[in-house]
Amino acid sequence: MEQQRSINIINSSFLVGIPLLALISVVFYSLEYGISWIEPIIFVTFYLASGLSITAGYHRLFSHRTHKAAWPMRLFYALFGAAAFQNSAIKWCSDHRRHHLKTDEEEDPYSVKKGFMWAHMGWVMVDQGEEIVEHVEDLQEDRILAWQDRHIFLIGFLVGIVLPGIVGFLIIGGIHGFLGGLIYGGFLRIVIVHHATFLINSAAHTWGTQPYSTTNTSRDSPLLSFFTFGEGYHNFHHTFQADYRNGHKWYHWDPSKWWIKVASWFGMTKDLHRIPKKSIESQRMKTAFENNSDAEQVSNELQDKLAQCIQQLRKGFSELMKRRDEYKAAKLERKKESKEAWRRRKESHKARIKQCKVIIAQARLEFKHLMQSLKINDSATVAAV
């Protein structure tokens, strides 16, 4: 407790001072020079570069190894991750891996159970004893990340503050341009990226739904995803940490997954890991069942029905993937067959695929009936009482 009350002067001064500096400088610049379309473009460019370096780089690549990246991409993350002023990738990932290992426990560095503001930024503003760097041996062997760790503050200053000023000077010209780039691409952008990242530790463990697991405080919030480069699907992430996506459905707002996917088209990323649909949906079924039943009072019959639904669902998805692979292989050999032979073969493949979808649909329908049975049982119990 004594350690928690010890204020970290450097971190606290920076976290309190940079928003004040940004506010004062934006007001001064607006009154003195006005704002053109260039300053917002500089802001957005550096905001995207540093924000994605944290979410796609520090988080999904370095912390969770959800995919692999070529050295130019890792260097980009090292440079603009430093510009976010959230410590080096090695130290950031050490804290984050500990957070996942000890979520909501005393050892969790930013446990929301210690308070919203503690999880948001308080944990950075106090000294919690000797800094612990562990579980990052793989990152320490990466020469780019080791170099970044040694020179983190210099890199952050040059890329996060000096570079946007230089960009403004080159585009707008003079001290006017340098200040415009410095203020919008530097000071203001740092504040916005800071609190967007902090929201993942605080808001994403406070508000939202828990469709995949209730074993910890993580929550899914589509709204939060708009402010955090897709990190708002946090309950999914805590349940399936190895997936490079946080928003696993195509319509989920997740710029980080799109960035990683597009980079793979150019060979900058590879081995993008995706949790199978059967695992995602079966876990969702288990959680919904648990949330709507009393584990100690629910009958063995209903529990057996749940197991049957999940087994049928997983079997359907496994067969579906197998049949689709067979169909793809058949397409490669279609030139060897006559049109009529290919037509018959294609119809046969599509029929098998359709049958798999029917099995999946039946499993979902059975689960729906199961959930209705739970509600009926609950209503009967209440009436009896």
* pLDDT tens column, 310-319: 999 999 999 9
Q: What is the mean pLDDT of the chain?
A: 93
* pLDDT tens column, 162-180: 999 999 999 999 999 999 9
- Phi–psi pair at 69, nearest 5 degrees: -135, 145
pTM of the model: 0.91
**Cα dihedral 245→250→255→260 (10° resolution):** 50
Helices (H), the chain: 2-5, 9-33, 38-52, 71-82, 89-101, 116-117, 123-125, 137-140, 143-150, 152-157, 163-171, 174-180, 189-201, 222-225, 234-239, 255-265, 277-291, 300-332, 339-384
Of 91-95, 132-136, 150-154, 296-300, the range with the lowest mean pLDDT is: 296-300
Q: What mean pLDDT comes out for the span 355-377?
A: 90
- Phi–psi pair at 129, nearest 5 degrees: 95, -165
Q: Using an 8 Å Cβ cutoff, are 185 and 112 in contact?
A: no
Burial pattern 146-158, b for ≥16 Cβ within 10 A else e, equals: eebbeebeebbbe
3-state secondary structure of 303: helix
Extract the tokens encoding 164.
């946007």
